[in-house]
Structure 1
Amino acid sequence: MPVTDVKHDLDTRTLTITAEFAASAERVWQIYADPRQLEKVWGPPTYPATVVEHDLTPGGRVNYFMTGPEGDKHAGYWKVLTVDEPRALSFEDGFAGLDFTPNPDMPVSTNLYTFTEHDGRTHVTYVTTYDTAEDLQKALEMGMVEGSSSAINQIDGFLAS
């Protein structure tokens, strides 16, 4: 499994997941840069994603929804902050209505993904920061660690296919 470590810290309001993949940084980056590839790994296996808008440029937006086992849909968005291909990507990630209007009752996180290649393998650090410790706690209670880890763990299989 590619996830090698998971830590959360209520004091800094962060959830940090580290993973390693048997692929170049450019190849791992392409998963996030291509909406059809992103759909294969964004969201847990039982909640596959559909990306309906994908503008991976600073100020751009990525709109998506995940479909649950019962056909229920859950929408979200990224507001892209920075892009340093293939080294780093940062964005705000939030919950939304099915029209992709942000849901103000749910936490918004700021995410920084960094990709570091060494000897043909890529180490990725996913750092998610919430505005408050309460928002982080809410995300943890919603299963963010399990959901994110299972989504990231799909990347190895996708890279192998």
Structure 2
Amino acid sequence: MHDHRSELADDTPTITLYRTYDAPQSLVWRGITDPDLLKNWWGPDGFTIEPISHDFRAGGHWHFIMIGPDGTRYVNYHLFTKIEPEQLLAYHNGEFENDPNGFDAEISLTALSRETTELRLHMIMSSFEARQTVLDFGALEAGQQTLAHLTPILEQLKAEK
């Protein structure tokens, strides 16, 4: 089961992506928080990750460069604002710490059964114009591509158990 969907709110400048994985919540959590796993799946089709630093705690960060298929380098800085193990990872996404042009995001996990987990990625933009900019950049498709890349990582983790 790899159901996925996207939502755009009419009353707030948000983008919400959902994806269901055939994996227990604990494995999905590991997949979204372990830097050795993240670097192997985060990003849309054709992108790679060059890790810089990772400090997984509230107030910590994940600093990395996303390299596009054409070699363009996109600096990313996720400042972790709230962590509830196996349930919620909230962060500010920008190019550097407290980037005013960035946005807030929350990844929440819900166990649908012992072996099935729904991931919800909720992105909160500063304005409808900011949301439209990322939509024009392909955020819906790129976001779903990114979340799809977690599936083979989870299959590998399940096989190792």
What's the TM-score once normalised by structure 2's chain length?
A: 0.88
Which stretches of structure 1, 4 residues or more, deviate above 3 A after TM superposition? 100-104
Task: Kindly indicate whether residue 135 of structure 2 is the aligned counterpart of residue 154 of structure 1.
Answer: no
What is the DSSP-based 3-state SS (H/G/I as helix, E as strand, rest coil) of the residue aligned with 1:31?
helix
What is the CA distance between 1:71 and its match in structure 2?
A: 2.2
Choose from 125, 133, 136 the match for 1:141.
136
Superposed CA RMSD in Å reads: 1.7
What's the TM-score once normalised by structure 1's chain length?
A: 0.88
What is the DSSP-based 3-state SS (H/G/I as helix, E as strand, rest coil) of the residue aligned with 1:23?
coil
Alignment: residue pair count: 155
In structure 1, stretches of 5+ residues that fail to align are: none
What is the DSSP-based 3-state SS (H/G/I as helix, E as strand, rest coil) of the residue aligned with 1:12?
coil
Provide, for residues 52-91 of structure 1, a one-character-per-residue CA deviation record: whole Å limited to 9, x for no partner: 1111211111101111223221111101000001111100
What is the CA distance between 1:102 and its match in structure 2?
A: 6.8
Partners of 1:82 and 1:89 within 8 A in 2: yes
Q: Which residue of 1 aligns with 2:6?
A: 6
Q: Which residue of 2 aligns with 1:108?
A: 102
In structure 2, stretches of 5+ residues that fail to align are: 157-161
Hey, what's the Cα distance between the residues in 2 that align with 1:125 and 1:101? 24
Give the percent of matched residue pairs that are identical in Structure 1 and Structure 2.
23
Q: Which residue of 1 aligns with 2:127?
A: 132
Amino acid at match of 2:43: G
